[in-house]
Amino acid sequence: ARNIIIDTDPGQDDAVAILLALASPEVNVLGITTVAGNVPLALTQKNARIVCELAGKPETLVFAGCDAPMNRPLVTAEHVHGKTGLDGPQLADPTMPLQEQHAVDWIIDTLRAAPEKSVTLCPLGPLTNIATALTRAPEIKAAIEEIILMGGGYFEGGNITPAAEFNIYVDPVAADIVFKAGVPLTVMPLDVTHKALTTRPRVDAFRNMGTEVGRMTAEWTDFFERFDKEKYGSEGAPLHDPTVIAYLIKPDLFTGRHINVEIETQSELTMGMTVADWWRVSGREPNCTFMGDIDADGFFALLTERLARLG
Ligand code: BDR
Ligand code: CA
């Protein structure tokens, strides 16, 4: 199994990603680090614990990290995820503990102690924790096998501004650090995730599992998708973050290109834009694999099969 660290800001789609990881023997979740993003840190760290308990894995290590981006005020997304970040079903407060150590310190300690190229980082939110760790302890790069993140968009444009996707927009300086880090990087942009839509039959498949996890996942998606349905008349919501975990389990579901991607950190108009050199016209060195397409039916089949394994 691949050792992974999930860095996240739950978020309904983050929650589904965590469930998928905890249900899958191909990945070994060393810990979950939380960051401010969709909602403030006090809620994201709590939400991560709610999800671990739902998965029946209260022994999972959950850490709280940075509560604000590196050089900008926090922008949140309650308009999509609701006031708690996990709006939809009724949720009880978690009883499993939050680890005392700061998430960034734990990431640094864990990677320093890990063999070369033995840990994969899976960021599902703004990149503040990861960039802070890389800046403070650049030697940890040696232990990173790959970074697989959800963020950015190119042909799809942006979802928080016309030019920028939420995770990159919230902390563009952090994203710039990660994209320039020189570690193997795989990116799931909106170009992919906007094809992974929660259509009625797909949500019914969650509900029909007849389990607590199935019911909660259906209720989360019901809430989450109202935004896209009302606003854009689309068939359902994009289930962004679980694509990162699905890629670890079944990489053939995705296709993309090894290209150069630069992050805009200066212009207010295009702040957080992921300028993707899809046609390789810049002459700049490729720094990531930028995915462009997904087998959406295969992705939802995997998700349903795996979530059904949890209680
Ligand atoms: C990303 O932003 C968040 O709202 C989602 O959880 C996802 O990580 C999509 O732009
Ligand atoms: Ca997220």
- pLDDT tens column, 66-111: 999 999 999 999 999 999 999 999 999 999 999 999 999 999 999 9
Q: What's the pLDDT score for residue 265? A: 98
Give residue 193's pLDDT: 97
Q: Which residues of 31-44 are buried (b: 16+ CB within 10 A; e: fewer)?
A: bbbbbbbbbbbebb
The whole-model pTM stands at 0.98
The pLDDT value given to residue 85: 96
Per residue in 181-219, pLDDT tens? 999 999 999 999 999 999 999 999 999 999 999 999 999
Of the listed 79, 81, 194, 240, which one is catalytic? 240
Contact (Cβ atoms closer than 8 angstroms) between residue 310 and residue 211: yes
State whether the beta carbon of 7 lies less than 6 angstroms from ligand 1: no
Whether residue 70 has its Cβ less than 6 Å from ligand 1: no
Q: Where does the pLDDT of residue 129 fall: very low under 50, low under 70, confident under 90, or very high at 90 and above?
A: very high
- Confidence class of residue 235 from pLDDT cuts 50, 70 and 90? confident
pLDDT of residue 228: 74
Q: CB neighbours (10 Å) of residue 59?
A: 7
Q: Please choose, from the candidates 96, 124, 115, 150, the residue with its C-alpha nearest in 3D space to the C-alpha of residue 33.
A: 124
According to the model, what pLDDT value does residue 41 have? 98
Based on the residue annotation, tell me whether 258 is a catalytic residue of this protein: no
Q: Please report the pLDDT score of residue 20 as a whole number.
A: 98
CA dihedral 258, 260, 265, 271 (to 10 degrees): -60
What share of the chain in percent tops pLDDT 90? 95
Question: Kind and range of the H or E element at 67?
Answer: none
Ligand nearest to the CA of 150: 1
pLDDT of 271 reads 98
pLDDT value for 226 = 79
Q: What is the 3-state secondary structure (H, E, C) of 16-45?
A: HHHHHHHCCCCEEEEEEEECCCCCCHHHHH
CA of residue 283 to ligand 2 center, whole Å: 32
Neighbouring-strand partners of residue 256: 291
What phi and psi values does residue 82 have, to the nearest 5 degrees? 85, 175
Q: How confident is the model at residue 233 (pLDDT cuts 50, 70, 90)?
A: confident
pLDDT per residue as tens digits for the range 34-65: 999 999 999 999 999 999 999 999 999 999 99
The reported pLDDT for the residue numbered 13 is 97
Distances (CA, A) of 303 to 18, 23, 196, 300: 11, 10, 11, 5
Mean pLDDT taken over the chain = 97
| Residue 311 in this model has a pLDDT that exceeds 90 | no
If you measure from the C-alpha of residue 124 to the centroid of ligand 1, how many angstroms do you get, rounded to a whole number? Answer: 7
Q: Which of 18-27, 94-103, 166-175, 234-243 has the lowest mean pLDDT?
A: 234-243
